[in-house]
Structure 1
Amino acid sequence: MSTDTYLPDAEWRSRPGLAELLDVLGGRQGQIRFVGGAVRDTLLSLPVADIDCATVLLPQEVLDRVRQAGLKAVPTGIAHGTITAVTPGGPVEVTTLRRDVSTDGRRATVAFTEDWQEDAARRDFTINALSAEPVSGRIHDYFGGLADLCQGRVRFIGEPLTRIAEDHLRILRFFRFHARFGKGAPDADALAACAARANDLMALSRERIADELLKLLAVEDPAPAFATMLEHGIWRPVLPEIDLQGLARLRALIERERAAGLGPDPLRRLAALLPPDPPLATALAVRLKLSNAAQRRLAAAAGRTEEVEPLRALAYRLGREEAIDRLLLSERDVAALAELEGWDRPRLPLGGGDLIAMGLPAGPVVAKTLQAVEARWIAEDFPAHARALALAQEAVDQLLRPAQ
């Protein structure tokens, strides 16, 4: 059914080139609407990053019209009806209305339609199925999404078990959306369905699981969602490493992030969920097909100990983010983070040639001595060139003294 609710004015609606794009795609004739997150988040007075539109126009006609208007059109997902129009204000995704022909839990075969409600019915949750006319701002709500949004309720459109069978990733999406938009206990029917079908997650690619996991960890406080997921065995089939001890570490980290005035960091929070075991962290990161940089960072965080090392020394040895991870995952005072403000990793201001010039014979002893000098230089908090040379001279003199 349609409502008499209207989309509030928002900054994103005035992005350069957006009005022209909507006009050429039939915005005044009812051929295109805003859909999804842009509508939902605007109603909640949240910032909007991505603009998605749906249209009755077929993909090739969208391409032709956008290009005739002098804008770049990229067929990013044309087989599924999606065109990206590049406007001066940023990209806008335009997708032809669709209906599912068949699904297998991982992907769907679709056909195009001109039925707005049929397209909205494909979406997972009622709060994601809202659409808005671009000129009037009038909102269309076919499944009670406005009421659910107001009440902080994340609810599947239709039968939850059926929707999960269509796309198993919806299990993880349910918990992410509840963590971000939900109030109180999760929808009982949705939770029961997710728990019943948790083993379906094993059919998904590890990249899709990793993407949803990190998105969930990026919400302000994902700990309640993780608690519910652990209680109902959601992670057990695909990430058995996550347990109640990890949940306790995650909660402690969130408190320390807030105390330090830092925003959510998904990788750091993932590290908190894992025990301090570098081989385990590395194996999990590889299994999730995370980037090499992410793998190194998780392994560094997992190598944390109770030993106290100056934060700058740690940052020099491991990297800035890795040092911050180590500190926040420990019990050390978060005020120590001030040591890294305005600090860039320095370079040791001398090399092996300087040691040889001081009289040290060439050979393996040069590298060994340079390492010892570097260790003292780090311990003295990276003094300037003159002091570094003095440390080097002391080391060389000590080595040469027995031979004199």
Structure 2
Amino acid sequence: MTVRISDQPWLTAPATRAVIAALEAAGGSGCARFVGGCVRNALIGEPVADVDIATTLKPEETDRAIRAAGLKAVPTGIAHGTVTAVSERRPFEITTLRRDVSTDGRNATVAFTDDWAEDAARRDFRLNALYADADGQVFDPTGEGVADALAGRIIFVGDPETRVREDYLRILRFFRFHAWYGRGEPDAAALAACRNLAPGMVRLSAERVSSELMKLLSAPDPRAAVKAMAEAGVLGQILPEARLSPLFDTAVEQGADPVVRLMTLLPPDEGVVREAAARLRFPNATRDRLAFAAVALPAVALSMTDRAARAVLYRHGARAFADAVRRRWAEAPDQETGARRLLALAEAWIRPPLPVGGRDLAKLGIEPGPETGRILKAFEEGWVADDFPSDGHAGRLRTLISSPRG
């Protein structure tokens, strides 16, 4: 049965057509096909972000063909057969058909081929080993990729342990793809391979591990995949601090973002989360969110007054406060009203500047020095405790100046 993808704007876009035309001018009709995610997502009605192309042309031939057509060619991975074409400011990653010569668990030495089945055989999952020509006709060399995509099955191409030993990142990709595209129970053979070979992930770079983990947690509902990861020992391998609990399920149900979901897997301990973030080399923004929320959490209660909340917002910032509220809400899902009130307060919060400074103290006869810092700190504490009054500042300063040091 012939399968086609249709009604795909990217398929008929002038930018796409220009790239395909350039390749076919050099290699003839059928030398280039769309591959992987764009074909899979078009089949199942999911958005297509990146358009990748496979070709029988060798990398240097691809480069010449793209340049001859007046398009920009970027040699992003010549050794592995990849050239990126830029057409109408949109990138298209073009890779020569390949077969593996040797693998070491992360990197592969490849040889180029003109056999589409050989290229498909080295890919990770059958639903990713799909190709489509310029007219949208789908080619399925494994014979099961289309069915898998439509049924939501994440199944390795060939023997699962062989695929994993070639690249241990495929363990995390299995759970990530199950989170995004899987339905029903994970494939038993794939799970067994992931469980048996999980220790091999130690050879992966921390950045690749953390990137896959956050992509997984970004899925609309990653609960089944994370549970399967935990049961297979994979979650504990990459994040031994993690503890799967109802907090995670609740956070997902409440629509929490991936960082908050991660927070609910970790203990609310600044030292622990900083150590985990450093080990996995999370981006600084993610690391700081995890740490700052852990610091703010003891000061946050969903029943707190708006006045008390403003004091915490001032001291910890809106982002940390909102993240702490999200965690508290996961702990107490029946307190939605209080959580939403505090989240709205955080969203509208504009941190007021301290209304006095050293010049105000100088006018009252206080010379710059340690005493200035003491008075300003005491003023700030009282001003925050009194809910940021807009007047009476001079009187407060005089009182603090005349008061004995404590």
2:140 aligns to what? 141
Is the Cα–Cα contact under 8 Å of residues 278 and 300 in structure 1 kept in the other structure? Answer: yes
Is the Cα–Cα contact under 8 Å of residues 59 and 95 in structure 1 kept in the other structure? Answer: yes
CA distance in 2, matches of 1:375, 1:194: 54
- Residues 320-339 of structure 1 aligned to structure 2 (within 5 Å): 320-331=318-329, 332-339=338-345
1:270 and 2:280 matched: no
CA distance in 2, matches of 1:22, 1:377: 66
2:154 aligns to what? 154
Bigger drift between 230-239 and 88-97 goes to 230-239
- Residues 11-160 of structure 1 aligned to structure 2 (within 5 Å): 11-26=9-24, 29-134=29-134, 136-143=135-142, 144-160=144-160
Q: Cα gap change, 1:400/1:235 in structure 2, threshold over 3 Å: closer, same or farther?
A: closer
Is the Cα–Cα contact under 8 Å of residues 98 and 111 in structure 1 kept in the other structure? Answer: yes
1:357 and 2:363 matched: yes
Unaligned runs of 5+ in 2: 330-337
* Counterpart residue identity of residue 33, structure 2: R
Is the Cα–Cα contact under 8 Å of residues 378 and 400 in structure 2 kept in the other structure? Answer: no
* Counterpart residue identity of residue 140, structure 2: D
1:367 and 2:359 matched: no
Is the Cα–Cα contact under 8 Å of residues 98 and 118 in structure 2 kept in the other structure? Answer: yes
Is the Cα–Cα contact under 8 Å of residues 98 and 119 in structure 2 kept in the other structure? Answer: yes
Is the Cα–Cα contact under 8 Å of residues 300 and 309 in structure 2 kept in the other structure? Answer: no
Q: Cα gap change, 1:401/1:104 in structure 2, threshold over 3 Å: closer, same or farther?
A: closer
Aligned Cα RMSD in Å? 2.1
Kindly state the Cα deviation for residue 335 of structure 1 after the two structures are TM-superposed: 3.2
TM-score by length of 1: 0.89
Q: Cα gap change, 1:132/1:344 in structure 2, threshold over 3 Å: closer, same or farther?
A: farther
Secondary structure in 2 aligned to 1:335? helix
CA distance in 2, matches of 1:380, 1:256: 34
* Counterpart residue identity of residue 13, structure 1: L
TM-score by length of 2: 0.89
Kindly state the Cα deviation for residue 307 of structure 1 after the two structures are TM-superposed: 4.1
* Counterpart residue identity of residue 297, structure 1: R
Structure 2 counterpart of 1:305, from 298, 306, 314: 298
Unaligned runs of 5+ in 1: 258-263
1:396 and 2:386 matched: no
Kindly state the Cα deviation for residue 129 of structure 1 after the two structures are TM-superposed: 0.7
2:3 aligns to what? 5
Query: Paired residues, what number?
Result: 387
Secondary structure in 1 aligned to 2:254? helix
Q: What do the CA deviations read for 1:117-153 (whole angstroms, capped 9, x no partner)?
A: 111111100111111002x110001121111112111
Q: What do the CA deviations read for 1:350-378 (whole angstroms, capped 9, x no partner)?
A: 42222322443432222222223333444
2:333 aligns to what? none
Kindly state the Cα deviation for residue 14 of structure 1 after the two structures are TM-superposed: 4.3
Secondary structure in 2 aligned to 1:25? helix
CA distance in 2, matches of 1:46, 1:25: 27
1:199 aligns to what? 199
* Counterpart residue identity of residue 76, structure 1: T
Secondary structure in 2 aligned to 1:4? coil
Secondary structure in 2 aligned to 1:29? coil
Q: What do the CA deviations read for 1:309-337 (whole angstroms, capped 9, x no partner)?
A: 64444444333322221110113523321
Kindly state the Cα deviation for residue 29 of structure 1 after the two structures are TM-superposed: 0.6
* Counterpart residue identity of residue 397, structure 2: V
